[in-house]
């Protein structure tokens, strides 16, 4: 197929014009020229490159810049960096060139966006290391993460051109990290789109199932919304409000999550949509007007008192402001109603993009963001050498709901739900946390592990003799507290290790061994201890035996007969062995002499979409693609994932679980077991039934050949009189 280069050139210029139009209202003198220069540099640098779809590569940086301008609201520097974000990584352009052409700031941001190259060692995850680098630069300049989000959003929008395993890796990473980040930065539209696209590629059946049902039920939802808002429109108009009132459907991802976490079917979810009322009112009247609207609604519809959420008096830490209530609407259905002003609505939907309009009133939001960045800077001051642990800690602070607690003087602190008295102590000050011996909550003494409730007033009790203990790590959930405790424990270990060093030195000389760095390192390797500091620490605790030193001396004198087993092969070697020439693991193929196990966390069976995960000690573990652990594995260790498919010609039985819910009819258990054993010739491994006041719930573990076999059985069981639901379950009981 011949490529029309002239038509492409015109299209590139056309896209550039649309980009300039999108950021026009924020461009200052000289900005247009610098964006044009960045555009020309990017076009030249990427001129030979094409995307997987066959399009010119330059379409991608322009699209990322477009998202930055339109959906995130960045200025000229952000647009320039978006246009150049892939140049240092993928072309001959160097960081020095960028610095010379566009200055220090642009080079710093581009550096933050450029991946770390180099080999993966035994323990690190390249994804986690790259993400840590992004965060390091982000704590200096927030634009790094905003451009990264725009880049990720465009990649997700064009993911259909990628290979399946690449889709899995990118989509899992998106759900694991990028969607929570967009949420944290108040970019609601981007968060929702990332989540929906992430689900589309990690569990397409789940995604399309809900998408189709949403489409089918749309007409009746529209009728219901009309009926609900009719009387409200009239009275709000009479009261002189300028307003918009409409129904907003919930995102596919949030509906999917609800079906999973609450264990309910699509048909049983009452809040498939929310009614939103957006009023146009001056800043000083916002709060009172929102409550006036609330009062009008509750005159018509009965509210549920537990479901009132006031994020106007205390906005969420990502700046979200709104008043939420759930009321009993027509046809006996509960409906969520969101009340907010035009300003709040724009800030909630667009986050940063709305800042330009509301520079002054957004000052609070800025300070919230600044507080969050300050926490990340603190975490990065003494980051855990293990990037994956650091990532887990960081993720803790992203997606959690929040609560408010007060100091004895009445200062309010925001903490994630689940935070403890010890978290609160570290939130006040590191020193207070380290010396904490207990707390008084609402004047009553509580232990360090006490879980805070919103509105608690907390006084922290300290003692200068107290130091952090190992078990404290189990008492805290905030990243700040975790990292401070870890670094304090590390310091304590260091001190103990210094005493251990002297002990080791004496033991070496007693056994006629020179206390040299080489000998110490060799002894560590001999005992399979990761570092000399760990060795000294163990020595101080009395855990290094003279017998081990003698064995080591013998081994040094006669290294042919090692005193220890051969080392475990490195993960790189395992990956290479597993991938082989075909890059595909075939499950059930006798030709493959590879040790694989079906993972118990998700019980995969033939017909399931699966992947292999290479472990160091247990061969290859096979997981279902929608396994609860899959997103984390694919996100952090994509290089240890191997494609896997089932070989169909073997009728082996695999363990699967089903859950049956219904009303307690006479003979129901008998009917169910009869169907399982007679009609489908299936063996049961375990069966457990509970009945409670006329309700019936059963869990059955059975052996089936594949998903087709299992689905057929589930369909038959659904027809049994009294059965209301049949679901496949993931975990073994």
**Catalytic residue numbers, as ranges:** 89-90
Contact 178, 152 (CB under 8 A): yes
The two beta strands, 654-663 and 695-704, are antiparallel
DSSP per residue, 558-613: -TTS-SSPPPPPPHHHHHHHHHTTTTEEEET-TT----EEE-TTT---TTS-EEEE
416 bridge partner residues: 402
Contact 156, 174 (CB under 8 A): yes
Separation CA 34–CA 533 (nearest Å): 52
Question: Which of 498, 589, 508, 564 has its CA nearest to residue 536?
Answer: 498
Separation CA 637–CA 614 (nearest Å): 9
Contact 334, 273 (CB under 8 A): no
Question: Which of 642, 658, 660, 646 has its CA nearest to residue 605?
Answer: 646
Contact 427, 478 (CB under 8 A): yes
Separation CA 192–CA 176 (nearest Å): 14
Query: Residue 438: what are its φ and ψ, rounded to 5°?
Result: 170, -175
Strand stretches in 420-498, DSSP E: 436-441, 444-446, 458-462
Separation CA 65–CA 31 (nearest Å): 14
Separation CA 730–CA 733 (nearest Å): 9
DSSP per residue, 173-235: HIIIIIHHHHHHTT-HHHHHHHHHHHHHHH-HHHHHHHHHHHHHTHHHHHHHHHHHHHHHHHH
Helix residue ranges per DSSP H, 382-478: 387-396, 421-428, 430-434
Scanning the structure block, which residue is given the tokens 């498939």? 272
Q: How many CB atoms lie within 10 A of CB 364?
A: 11
Separation CA 93–CA 87 (nearest Å): 6
274 bridge partner residues: 248, 336
Q: Both tokens of residue 387?
A: 């990037």
What distance lies between CA 480 and its chain's CA centroid? 18
Return the exposure string of 479-500: e unless at least 16 CB atoms fall within 10 Å of the residue's CB, then b. bbbbbbbbbbbeeebeebbeeb
DSSP 92: S
* Rg (alpha carbons) of the chain, rounded to whole number: 30
Q: How many CB atoms lie within 10 A of CB 427?
A: 22
Residue 118 class from Cβ within 10 Å (0-12 exposed, 13-18 middle, 19+ buried)? Answer: exposed
């Amino acid at each position: 197929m011949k490529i029309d280069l002239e038509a492409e050139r015109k299209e590139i210029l056309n896209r550039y014009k649309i980009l300039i139009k999108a950021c026009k209202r924020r461009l200052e003198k000289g900005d247009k020229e610098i964006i044009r220069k960045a555009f020309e540099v990017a076009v030249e640098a990427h001129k030979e490159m094409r995307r997987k779809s066959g399009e010119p590569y330059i379409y991608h940086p322009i699209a990322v810049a477009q998202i930055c301008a339109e959906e995130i609201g960045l200025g000229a520097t952000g647009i320039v960096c978006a246009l150049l974000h892939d140049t240092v990584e993928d072309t001959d352009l160097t960081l020095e060139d960028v610095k010379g052409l566009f200055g220090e700031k642009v080079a710093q941001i581009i550096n933050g966006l450029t991946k770390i190259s180099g080999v993966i060692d035994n323990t690190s995850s390249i994804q986690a290391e790259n993400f840590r680098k992004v965060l390091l630069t982000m704590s200096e300049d927030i634009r790094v993460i905003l451009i990264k989000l725009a880049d990720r959003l465009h990649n997700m929008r064009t993911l259909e051109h990628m290979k399946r395993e690449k889709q899995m890796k990118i989509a899992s990473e998106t759900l694991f990290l990028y969607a929570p980040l967009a949420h944290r930065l108040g970019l609601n539209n981007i968060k929702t789109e990332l989540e929906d696209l992430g689900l589309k590629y990690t569990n397409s059946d789940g995604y399309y199932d809900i998408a189709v049902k949403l489409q089918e039920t749309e007409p009746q939802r529209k009728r219901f919304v009309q009926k609900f808002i009719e009387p409200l429109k009239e009275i709000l108009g009479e009261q002189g409000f300028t307003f918009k009132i409409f129904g907003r459907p919930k995102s596919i991802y949030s509906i999917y999550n609800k079906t999973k976490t609450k264990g309910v079917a699509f048909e049983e979810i009452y809040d498939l949509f929310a009614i939103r009322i957006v009023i146009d009112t001056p800043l000083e009247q916002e709060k009172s007007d929102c409550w006036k609207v609330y009062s009008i609604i509750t005159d018509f519809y009965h509210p549920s008192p537990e479901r009132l959420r006031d994020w106007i008096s205390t906005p969420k830490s990502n700046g979200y402001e709104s008043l939420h209530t759930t009321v009993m609407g027509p046809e006996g259905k509960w409906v969520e109603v969101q009340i907010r002003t035009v300003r709040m609505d724009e800030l909630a939907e667009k986050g940063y993009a709305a800042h330009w309009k509301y520079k002054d009133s957004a000052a609070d939001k800025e300070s919230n963001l600044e507080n969050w960045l300050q926490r990340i800077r603190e975490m990065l001051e003494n980051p855990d050498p293990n990037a994956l642990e650091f990532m887990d800690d960081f993720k803790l602070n992203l997606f959690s709901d929040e609560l408010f607690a007060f100091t004895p003087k009445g200062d309010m602190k925001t903490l994630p739900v689940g935070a403890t008295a010890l978290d609160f102590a570290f939130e006040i000050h590191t020193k207070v946390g380290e010396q904490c011996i207990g707390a008084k909550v609402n004047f009553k003494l509580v232990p360090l592990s006490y879980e805070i409730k919103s509105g608690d007033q907390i006084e922290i009790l300290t003692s200068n003799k107290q130091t952090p203990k190992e078990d404290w790590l189990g008492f805290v959930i905030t990243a700040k507290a975790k990292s401070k405790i870890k670094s304090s424990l590390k310091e304590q270990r260091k001190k103990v290790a210094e005493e251990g060093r002297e002990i080791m030195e004496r033991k070496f000389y007693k056994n006629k061994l020179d206390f040299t760095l080489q000998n110490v390192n060799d002894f560590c390797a001999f005992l399979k201890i990761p570092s000399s500091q760990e060795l000294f620490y163990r020595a101080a605790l009395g855990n290094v035996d003279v017998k081990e030193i003698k064995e080591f001396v013998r081994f040094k004198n006669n290294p042919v007969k090692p005193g220890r087993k051969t080392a475990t092969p490195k993960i790189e070697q395992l990956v290479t062995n597993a991938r082989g020439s075909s890059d595909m693991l075939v499950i059930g193929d006798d030709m493959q002499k590879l040790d694989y196990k079906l993972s118990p966390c998700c019980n995969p069976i033939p017909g399931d979409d699966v992947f292999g995960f290479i472990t160091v000690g247990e061969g290859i573990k096979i997981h279902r693609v929608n396994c609860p652990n899959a997103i984390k594995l694919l996100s952090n260790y994509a290089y240890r994932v191997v494609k896997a498919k089932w070989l169909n010609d073997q009728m082996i039985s695999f363990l699967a679980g089903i859950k049956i819910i219904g009303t307690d009819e006479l003979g129901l258990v008998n009917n169910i077991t009869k169907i399982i054993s007679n009609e489908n010739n299936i063996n049961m491994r375990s069966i457990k039934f509970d009945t409670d006041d006329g309700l019936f719930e059963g869990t059955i573990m059975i052996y089936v050949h594949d998903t087709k076999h299992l689905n057929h059985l589930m369909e038959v069981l659904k027809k049994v009189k009294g059965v209301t639901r049949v679901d496949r379950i993931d975990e073994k009981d």
